[in-house]
Amino acid sequence: MDLIKSGKLLCDLRKAKGMTQAEVAKRLGVVPKTVSKWETGHGFPDVATLSALANLLGVSEKTLLSGNLETNSGDAGNMKRIKFYVCPVCTSFMQGVGNCQLTCCGKQLQAIKASPADDEHAVKITEIEDDLYIEFNHEMTKEHYISFVSYVRFDRVLTVKLYPEQDGAVRIPKIYGDRIYFYCTKHGLFEHAIKLRRRA
């Protein structure tokens, strides 16, 4: 670990938050001289303090340890590059583009790779006026159900949460996206291409 590099990052992050060394010290229960030592590379927070400092500065502990603040590339806003994350503990789901570092229930989440929809996870899409009616021939029990559906276009994502014991179908406005993603609680993430006729 490069203490000088990590110290410079600490200093830059603190200034970006508009905080003084004294303010950081007070929030962490240390003296200002300690914060100064960290920022000049003459020391580093212990494990307990590191977690609190990371939360205070709005970054991960890994970022503070590495001394690198990675930024996403300029095209990270393209929703076609969307990634999905599901917490293995509470089953909450999240979405992001670019190089996200997401945590839930104390665990760092990994992006889920989508598989093409198969026969067991077949999708039927019907156009109804300005909407799409998307049906899944899939059980919706507490143990096995479709948890969410996301309709993706390059500049937006429309997501609908589904629950056990409801119909395995959603009606959503057409946004002329090119695919949907949906998550089965037993078999993972699937994707299905959509071909819509555009209005003349």
- For residue 29, what is the domain's CATH number? 1.10.260.40
Residues 90 and 183 in one domain: yes
Mean pLDDT taken over the chain = 87
How does residue 198 score in pLDDT terms, banded at 50, 70 and 90? low
Q: Is residue 86 part of a domain?
A: yes
Element housing 14 (H / E): helix 3-16
Question: Which residue in this structure is represented by tokens 């179908």?
Answer: 169
Domain-embedded: residue 198: no
In the predicted model, is pLDDT for residue 142 greater than 90?
A: yes
What pLDDT, on the 0 to 100 scale, is given for residue 77? 56
pLDDT at 175 > cutoff 50: yes
Q: What's the pLDDT score for residue 70?
A: 62
Are residues 62 and 79 located together in one domain of the fold? no
Give, for 126, the enclosing helix (H) or strand (E): strand 123-128
Scanning the structure block, which residue is given the tokens 């670019």?
98
Q: Which of 48, 66, 84 is the last residue of a domain?
A: 66
Predicted local distance difference test score (pLDDT) of residue 197:
62
Least confident span in 44-53, 95-104, 182-191: 95-104
Report pLDDT for 58: 83
Instruction: Give pLDDT, residue 72.
Output: 46
Mean pLDDT of 19-42: 92
Return all residues near 58 (Cβ < 8 A) that are at least 6 apart.
13, 17
Tally of domains within the chain: 2
3-state secondary structure of 16: helix
Q: Which of 17, 38, 66 is the last residue of a domain?
A: 66
3-state secondary structure the chain: CCHHHHHHHHHHHHHHCCCCHHHHHHHHCCCHHHHHHHHCCCCCCCHHHHHHHHHHHCCCHHHHHHCCCCCCCHHHHCHHHCEEEECCCCCCEEEECCCCCCEECCEECCCECCEECCHHHCEEEEEECCEEEEEECCCCCCCCCEEEEEEEECCEEEEEECCCCCCCEEEEECCCCCEEEEEECCCEEEEEECCCCCCC
Q: Tokens representing 77?
A: 């806003």
Residue 40 has pLDDT above 70, yes or no: yes
Full domain range(s) for residue 175: 75-193
- Residue with the larger pLDDT of the pair 78 and 56: 56
Q: What is the pLDDT of residue 145?
A: 95
Model confidence, pTM:
0.64
87 lies in the same domain as 169: yes
Same domain, 117 and 39: no
Amino acid, single-letter form, for residue 169: A
